[in-house]
Amino acid sequence: MGMLEEMAVSFDPEQLIAEFEVMTKDAERVQRETLKKILDENGATEYLQKWGLDGRTDPDSFRTCIPLVTHEDLDHFIKRIVEGDNSPILTGKPITTISLSSGTTRGMPKFVPFNDELMESTIQIYKTSYSFRNREFPVGNGKCLQFIYGSKQFKTKGGLAAGTATTNVYRNPLFKKTMKAMQTPCCSPDEVIFGPDFQQSLYCHLLCGLILREEVQVISSTFAHSIVYAFRTFEQYWEELCTDIREGVLSSRVSVPSIRTAVSKLLEPNPELADTIYNKCKGLSNWYGLIPELFPNTRYIYGIMTGSMEPYIKKLRHYAGELPLFSADYGSSEGWIGANVNPNLPPELATFAVLPNIGYFEFIPLRPCLDGLKQENCTSLPGETKPVGLTEVKVGEEYEVVVTTFAGLYRYRLGDVVKVKGFHNSTPELQFICRRNLLLTINIDKNTEKDLQLAVEAASKVLAEDKLEVVDFTSGVDSSTEPGHYVIFWEVSGDASDDILEQCCNCLDKSFFDAGYISSRKVKAIGALELRIVKRGTFHEILDHYVGLGAAVSQFKTPRCVGPYNSTVLQILCNNVVKSYFSTAF
Ligand code: AMP
């Protein structure tokens, strides 16, 4: 049995926690050893030779010789790998699989190398957070209703397997073994997870979960958006689902033969179950507490709820009733970073303890906050951008994450901003703040995804007065007017009055607290903010567009800003605008 397989099948949560404690007590040494291992394995690569590392493996030489890079800097190396050049370019062992990152931030997926070591760290992270979670909320011999979706895998020109990172993970036999070891295998058969039609897969995930409703102990997805999306869909199709269960015949909506065959096998007429579900749904007010009603033995809900997923927490809580929500771990297609080992923190406050043996980590300090509130807008300290090591970070400070991985990325800027909230032994616990890049900027104003999120949060309180909610949102800059202005697109759950939407628009404009924005608005260097309301279903159309491009629903993050680089999305939005309002707040 290979090392990987051994890891997956033998699994004792308490032993794993003990190992985690030992490792994190000695994070600095583990980091040195991890760097040495990475550089020993890959010292002969073209990339490391090019920078003259000459076989040295210590942190000082590494940091002196190797430059900080972004994905763009590595594009041409990765391109050669994708095209089939299997000489040691970035890694000693040839790369055989490529991950497509969700790419929703820049409008198109990007390629990153994937290998066994990344798979190994994925499993290690899953097991670590599971072990801590399981101490508080043990699950056993149940099922997990997982809203996960594989995307198509294809071969690159050079013959490498390519797919999204989550697909590479779900397809891996070890992932399934790990789920089994955690005693919560997925409710749905593989044909559903890997089905070619996302809507049909989603319908069947719901159906498979309902059939096994008493056994479901955990409800999860990679990103929380997928869970919220699934239950919004349930609201639409619940009667049809009940009919399928009553009659034991799968709806004609599911037309993909492989999915039909696999799911039909699980269905048999069960009028009693159909009645139970039907009556439970009828008894709910506005779907509050839907999840525990449908799945009475659910212990918790699990998925990434931080960062761009935060706006969905409120809706998730509504569906979850009293059930606990646990935010999942922190990572990216490029590599994993930290595990959530404090499951009791509410998802908004989730932190991630960095695993010091899965990569070598550095942190670029960001400018200390000037007004106490707007750290996320900070830029690097001039002349002091020198990154610090994992154990040198300071509590309360914000940093940009830099990773060196076993899969050929060296001193790679991930573009994420994190804040150090504390330490678990000697490894830091990070809070995810936002993506580094600015979303909205016209002149001296600087607003990030987080700023947008906070403004939308404030304005949606006004909308709540009409008992309505923001289903999803994005933004853009309209520079066709003089001066340019911010445009916020909202999909709203029902018909709001003009009066309320005007108030929402003013509130949005007033809720960007960035001094650059406020002063520019005052002197009319930025025009009045515009709120455009789009038709119901518009964001669904956007998701479909990305899925069509090869993105995985499991990794989908609504782009929070649309610009010329994703003009199709902009077009979808503009075609669906039903009303628009201009702020009169300044
Ligand atoms: P992808 O490009 O699809 O691999 O997504 C990776 C990005 O998702 C990261 O760089 C983060 O910006 C974001 N992300 C991943 N995990 C989390 C998390 N736990 N909280 C917030 N954002 C996350």
Give me Rg for the CA atoms of the chain: 24
Atom of ligand 1 nearest to the CA of 435: 12
Tokens of 181: 């070891």
Instruction: For helices 13-25 and 27-42, give the axis angle rounded to 10 degrees.
Output: 90
Distance 359 CA to ligand 1 centre (A): 16
Instruction: Using the mean position of ligand 1's atoms as its centre, give its distance from the Cα of residue 551 in Å.
Output: 14
pLDDT in tens, 283-326: 999 999 999 999 999 999 999 999 989 999 999 999 999 999 99
CB atoms near residue 16 (< 10 Å): 17
Q: Kindly give the pairing relationship between strand 360-365 and strand 485-492.
A: unpaired
Q: Which of 42, 129, 583 is nearest to 341 (CA)?
A: 129
How far apart are the C-alpha atoms of 537 and 542, rounded to whole Å? 9
Residue 64, token pair as written in the block: 């002196």
In this prediction, the residues of the chain whose per-residue pLDDT falls under 50 are 1-8, 369-384
CA pseudo-torsion sign 130, 133, 135, 141: negative
pTM more than 0.75: yes
3-state secondary structure of 335: strand
Atom of ligand 1 nearest to the CA of 327: 19
Centre of ligand 1 from the C-alpha of residue 237, in Å: 31
Most ligand 1 atoms within 8 A of CB, residue of 71, 129, 223, 332 to mutate: 332
Residue 377 is predicted with a pLDDT of 41
Tokens for 510, please give them: 């007033």
d(CA 99, CA 295): 34
CA-to-CA distance for 433 and 420, rounded, in angstroms?
10
CA end-to-end distance (rounded Å), the chain: 68
Location of structure tokens 């409120």: 314
Place of tokens 């830091």: 428
| Ligand 1-lining residues (CB < 6 angstroms) | 101-102, 165, 304, 306-307, 330-333, 414, 416, 432, 435, 555
Strand bridging mode 300-304 / 216-223:
parallel
- Alpha-carbon span 423 to 24, nearest angstrom: 9
Residue 427: phi, psi to the nearest 5? -105, 140
What is the CA(332)–ligand 1 centre distance, in A? Answer: 5
Cα–ligand 1 centroid distance for 101 (angstroms): 10
Nearest residue (by CA) to ligand 1, atom 7, is: 332
Q: How many whole angstroms from 414 Cα to the centroid of ligand 1?
A: 10
Which residue CA neighbors atom 18 of ligand 1 most closely?
330
Mutate which of 416, 430, 434 to test ligand 1's pocket (most atoms within 8 Å of Cβ)? 416
Among the atoms of ligand 1, which is closest to the Cα of residue 434?
12
Rounded-to-integer distance, Cα 501 and Cα 489, Å: 12
Contact 267, 394 (CB under 8 A): no
Helices (H) and strands (E) in the chain, counts: 21, 20
> What is the token pair recorded at 295?
């799945």
Is there a contact between 358 and 330 (Cβ–Cβ < 8 Å)?
A: no
CB 53 within 8 A of CB 39: yes
Centre of ligand 1 from the C-alpha of residue 456, in Å: 21
Give the integer Cα–Cα distance in Å for 421 and 237.
42
| φ, ψ for residue 32, nearest 5 deg | -60, -45
User: In this predicted structure, what is the pLDDT of residue 529?
Assistant: 97
CA distances from 39 to 24, 56, 76, 414 (A): 21, 8, 21, 20
Structure tokens at 500: 């309320």
Sign of the C-alpha dihedral, residues 203, 204, 205, 209?
positive
By the 10 Å C-beta count (0-12 exposed, 13-18 middle, 19+ buried), 582 is classed as: middle
- Inter-axis angle of helices 116-136 and 13-25, nearest 10: 110
CA angle 145, 148, 150 (to 5 degrees): 145
In DSSP notation, 432-455 reads: EEEESS-SB-SSS--B-HHHHHHH
Longest dimension (CA), the chain: 71
**Which ligand 1 atom is the nearest neighbour of the CA of 337?**
16
Helix (H) or strand (E) holding 232: helix 224-247
Query: How far, in Å, is the centroid of ligand 1 from the Cα of 71?
Result: 15
CA–CA dist 137, 11 (Å, integer): 17
Cα angle value 244/245/249 (rounded, 5°): 45
| Ligand 1 mutation target, pool 330, 349, 448, most atoms within 8 A of CB | 330
What are the CA-CA distances from residue 583 to residues 256, 294, 440, 500, 514 (Å)? Answer: 48, 43, 17, 12, 17
Query: How far, in Å, is the centroid of ligand 1 from the Cα of 78?
Result: 21
CA of 103, closest atom in ligand 1? 2
Q: How many whole angstroms from 5 Cα to the centroid of ligand 1?
A: 27
Residue whose CA lies nearest to ligand 1 atom number 17: 330
Quote the DSSP letter at residue 553.
G
| Both structure tokens of 329 | 């771990």
Atom of ligand 1 at shortest range from CA of 352: 19
- Gap from CA of 146 to ligand 1 centroid (Å): 19
Centre of ligand 1 from the C-alpha of residue 496, in Å: 33
| Contact residues for 52 (Cβ-Cβ < 8 A; gap 6+) | 65
Q: Two tokens at 304? A: 């990434």
Query: Residue with the nearest Cα to atom 16 of ligand 1?
Result: 330
Quote the ligand 1 centre to 529 CA distance (angstroms). Answer: 29
Pairing of strands 577-582, 352-354: unpaired
Positive/negative CA dihedral, 426, 429, 433, 434? positive
Q: Is the peptide bond between 564 and the residue preceding it cis, with omega within 30 degrees of 0?
A: no
How far, in Å, CA of 223 to CA of 560, rounded? 15
* Pocket residue to mutate for ligand 1, from 432, 437, 450, 453, most atoms within 8 A of Cβ: 432
List, for residues 58-88, the tens digit of each pLDDT value. Answer: 999 999 999 999 999 999 999 999 999 989 9
Q: How far apart are the C-alpha atoms of 552 and 525, rounded to whole Å? A: 40
Residue 219 to residues 290, 343, 368, Cα–Cα distance (Å): 12, 15, 39
Q: Which of 267, 219, 213 is nearest to 243 (CA)?
A: 267
Which residue has tokens 């060196």?
404
Which candidate, 376, 584, 378, places its Cα nearest to that of 485? Answer: 584
Residue 221 pLDDT: 93
